[in-house]
Structure 1
Amino acid sequence: MGLKPLQDWALIEPSEAKGKTTGGLFIPDTAKEKPVEGKVLAVGKGRWETPEKKSGSKPKRKDAKEEKVFNSTVLKPGDQVLYEKYGTTEIDLDGKELVLVRESDVLGLVG
């Protein structure tokens, strides 16, 4: 694979949208939403954040030295995840349609 995500980005291979509902109704291709489930192929190491950004408290003075905290990513290659479909960057890599997603846009692990 030719792409290694940086910071808290994850490279995800989307799963196909299901063509049938759990109740047995078939969904035409034109009505299927983009898939929001996928498999993590690669993930960045994490990102540095200021505690204010993380906790939502008021920012310090401009001249005050900001302490930063490194937040490691939780995701691992092979994880099956649900993610926000609107916060993705779609790419074509080696003939596969993949998406880059920030870890904060991942809703949870599946299974």
Structure 2
Amino acid sequence: MNIKPLADRVVVKMVESEETTKSGIVLPGSAKEKPQIAEVVAVGPGTVQDGKEVKMEVKVGDKVIISKYSGTEVKFNNEEYTILKQGDILAIVE
């Protein structure tokens, strides 16, 4: 069984952030921010909005930057994913 997003939704898996700063300071769990870089694992087929087709700009495997605290977090097969609308994706990391 897989997660298959509907309409203009995208399933992403958050990329783990480093636990130490560039200067070597180790950050405790409470000091870390929620990561904003994620990898796309599934993409919906797109949608029609105001009579115009909205095509999907991302594809599986893309690394993306998402809005902080966007989407819905789900646990599936002991893995944590976030399901969000394509509009919550800010950029593709190349």
Q: What TM-score, normalized by structure 2, do the two folds share?
A: 0.91
Query: What is aligned with 2:42?
Result: 42
Which ranges of structure 2 fall in alignment gaps of 5 or more residues?
A: none
Shift of 1:31: 0.8
RMSD value, Cα: 1.3
Work out which of the residue numbers 72, 75, 88 in structure 2 matches 1:105: 88
Higher helix share: 1
User: How many Å separate the matches in 2 of 1:97 and 1:85?
Assistant: 16
Larger Rg: 1
How many aligned positions are there?
A: 94
**In 2, Cα distance between the equivalents of 1:7 and 1:23?**
43
2:18 equivalent to 1:18: yes
The runs of 5 or more residues in structure 1 that have no matched partner are 51-67
**After superposition, what is the alpha-carbon deviation per residue over 1:33-60, rounded to whole angstroms, capped at 9, x for unaligned?**
111111100000111111xxxxxxxxxx
More strand by share: 2
4+ residue runs over 6 A deviation = none
- The two structures have a TM-score, normalised by structure 1, of 0.78
